[in-house]
């Protein structure tokens, strides 16, 4: 990664690799999710350190496997191990039962257990201690995602004077939703301890600024060209929008590979020539999978002439399986798939093929190549990389993208995709019909537009634009401890 003259110290909840127990020995696999897909191509590009959690019991063997992995790269992986209680309260609890649902506008799913907040602070402190140990003068400390919003506050307490940057991968809610968070002032104030704070979209940046106006009255806010400057006595933070992306060329090259093309033909053949709709998601309630299945059911109910001619392939990668809402979601999806297949299936035709596992890159690309239509319909998403991957993989400039208007990616891809409200069952069913009927010339026109946008705004452009803000942004030095600054905050 390139940011400035120094190295980059990446701090994220998870390391980019997960250590798995093989039959003989431990081995590493890429971790699931958008953050890792996005940042991995940057890893090989320059020197640095990546600090993150390994979801395993600490052991010298794990440390050795990670050291071996690091030795083959420019980047050194530094594992953080959490106790079972820390995992439960910090990761499952505060991160994924408070911040995740609230920031995706699903406040009724939140569990505001106060012990989760204590764990959030304690674990952020541990990440900060490791970052303080690793960061050298001139390094950029680059913290990622909602789990670690309080890391800069801890680093300031530890008197770390490097530039501190933060990128927020998920949506940031407006004040009417954010105000439910019992620790709202603390989180906003902690974010202002970073020199640079980046969001996925202008909408998220606007929401963050609106929350500051409500809950941090001492903040002075000025808009300058494409970013916002937030001043408080003794400190300044630059706030910007930087839409994350993928390594377009890597996906396009991979998709053109002969073995991938052959596998794509095999998939098409196995579906007996049916038009193929594809969903690819982490198994998460924000991805709108039950809502998508309802829309497909409605489509089948209203288009009996297409029975036997259209198939939905839904691929999900298991995620956050220790959290009850995710366990419930898994059962709900399985139930809906079997109901729909039971109601409409016929000998020789299965309406929905459900794949519940992680696919390796060539297999994933083959599915993208084979799919006539991608259904990317999250209820809310910071960005969503699946839709960008689908476009990059459509090397023949065809295929139709049906995209939720609530995905961050809709800001960039609205002119080529068919935008839908994922809650509107009939509208999604109608978009499926429109995608199936679309003339080839229109498909090509739209897909060329989509691919041009993803190609030009790729992950390297994201890194360069974020890092140039980070390299030139203000450098806040040795701020007073958080507790001393609290009385200046005024609640709305």
Kindly list the catalytic residues.
169, 381
Beta strand extents in 207-267 (DSSP E only): 220-224, 227-232, 235-241
What is the closest distance, in whole angstroms, from the C-beta atom of residue 96 to ligand ADP in the complex? 12
Residue 243 binds ligand F6P, judged by CB under 6 A: no
Binding pattern for the stretch 262-291 against ligand ADP, x by CB under 6 A and - elsewhere: ------------------xxx---------
| Helix, strand, coil percentages for the chain (3-state, nearest 5) | 50, 20, 30
What is the size of the binding site for ligand ADP (CB under 6 A)?
18
Q: At what angle do helices 440-456 and 386-393 cross, to 10 degrees?
A: 120
Structural element, H or E, at residue 189: helix 184-191
Q: At what angle do helices 361-370 and 258-270 cross, to 10 degrees?
A: 60
What is the closest distance, in whole angstroms, from the C-beta atom of residue 395 to ligand F6P in the complex? 26
Choose the contact partner of 389 out of ligand F6P, ligand ADP, none; CB within 5 to 8 A by kind.
ligand ADP
Residue 173 binds ligand F6P, judged by CB under 6 A: no
List binders of ligand ADP among 355-374 (CB under 6 A): 358-359, 364
List binders of ligand F6P among 292-331 (CB under 6 A): 319-320
Task: Select the span of 27-35, 189-197, 407-415, 450-458 touching ligand F6P (CB under 6 A).
Answer: 27-35
Task: Indicate the DSSP class of residue 45.
Answer: T
Nearer to ligand F6P, 11 or 418 (CB): 11
Residue 333 binds ligand ADP, judged by CB under 6 A: no
Choose the contact partner of 191 out of ligand F6P, ligand ADP, none; CB within 5 to 8 A by kind.
none
Residue 98 binds ligand F6P, judged by CB under 6 A: no
Q: 327 to each of 305, 308, 319, 464, how far by Cα in Å?
A: 36, 32, 9, 39
Say how far apart CA 80 and CA 126 lie, in whole Å. 8
Token pair 């050298």 in the structure block, residue: 136
Cβ–Cβ < 8 Å for 344, 309:
no
Length of the chain: 492
Task: Select the span of 32-40, 113-121, 140-148, 220-228 touching ligand ADP (CB under 6 A).
Answer: 32-40
Residue 18 binds ligand ADP, judged by CB under 6 A: no
Q: At what angle do helices 258-270 and 248-256 cross, to 10 degrees?
A: 70
Task: Select the span of 32-40, 65-73, 101-109, 401-409 touching ligand F6P (CB under 6 A).
Answer: 32-40
Q: 395 to each of 8, 249, 365, 447, how far by Cα in Å?
A: 34, 11, 11, 9
Point out which residues bind ligand F6P (CB under 6 A). 13-14, 32-36, 145, 169-170, 319-320, 382
Point out which residues bind ligand ADP (CB under 6 A). 32-34, 37, 280-282, 315-317, 358-359, 364, 383-386, 389
């Amino acid at each position: 990664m390139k940011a400035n003259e120094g190295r980059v110290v990446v701090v994220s909840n998870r390391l980019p690799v997960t250590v798995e127990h093989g039959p003989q020995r431990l081995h590493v696999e890429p971790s699931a999710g958008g953050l890792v897909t996005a940042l991995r191509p940057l890893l090989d590009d320059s020197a640095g350190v990546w600090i993150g959690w390994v979801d395993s019991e600490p052991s010298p063997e794990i440390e050795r496997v990670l050291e071996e992995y690091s030795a083959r790269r420019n980047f050194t992986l530094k594992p953080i191990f959490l106790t079972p209680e820390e995992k439960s309260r910090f990761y499952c609890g505060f991160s994924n039962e408070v911040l995740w649902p609230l920031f995706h506008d699903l406040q009724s799913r939140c569990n505001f257990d106060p012990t989760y907040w204590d764990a959030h602070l304690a674990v952020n402190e541990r990440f900060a201690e490791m970052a303080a140990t690793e960061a050298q003068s001139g390094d950029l400390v680059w913290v990622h995602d909602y789990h670690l919003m309080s890391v800069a506050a801890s680093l300031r307490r530890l008197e770390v004077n490097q530039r501190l940057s933060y990128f927020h991968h998920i949506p940031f809610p407006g004040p009417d939703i954010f105000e439910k968070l019992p620790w709202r002032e603390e989180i906003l104030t902690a974010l202002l301890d970073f020199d640079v704070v980046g969001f996925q979209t202008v909408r998220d940046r606007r929401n963050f600024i609106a929350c500051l106006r409500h809950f941090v009255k001492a903040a002075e806010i000025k808009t300058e060209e494409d970013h916002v400057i937030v001043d408080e006595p003794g400190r300044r933070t630059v706030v910007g929008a930087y839409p994350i992306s993928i390594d377009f060329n890597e996906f396009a090259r991979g998709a053109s590979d002969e073995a991938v093309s052959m596998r794509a033909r095999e998939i098409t053949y196995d579906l007996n020539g049916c038009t193929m709709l594809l969903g690819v998601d982490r198994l998460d309630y924000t991805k709108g999978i039950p809502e998508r299945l309802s829309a497909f059911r409605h489509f089948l109910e209203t288009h009996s002439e297409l029975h036997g001619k259209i198939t939905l392939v839904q691929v999900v990668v298991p995620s956050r399986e220790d959290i009850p809402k995710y366990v419930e979601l898994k059962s709900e999806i399985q139930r809906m798939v079997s109901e729909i297949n039971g109601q409409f299936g016929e000998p020789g035709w299965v309406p929905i093929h459900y794949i519940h596992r992680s696919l390796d890159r060539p297999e994933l690309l083959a599915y993208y190549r084979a799919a006539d239509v991608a259904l990317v319909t999250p209820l809310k998403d910071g960005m969503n990389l699946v839709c960008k991957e689908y476009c990059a993989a459509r090397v023949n400039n065809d295929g139709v993208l049906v995209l939720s208007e609530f995905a961050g990616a809709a800001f960039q891809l609205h002119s080529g995709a068919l935008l839908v409200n994922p809650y509107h069952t009939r509208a999604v069913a109608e978009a499926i019909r429109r995608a199936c009927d679309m003339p080839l010339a229109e498909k090509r026109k739209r897909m060329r537009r989509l691919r041009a946008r993803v190609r030009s705004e790729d992950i390297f452009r994201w890194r360069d634009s974020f890092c140039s803000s980070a390299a030139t942004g203000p450098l806040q030095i040795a701020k007073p401890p958080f507790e001393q600054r609290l009385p200046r905050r005024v609640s709305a």
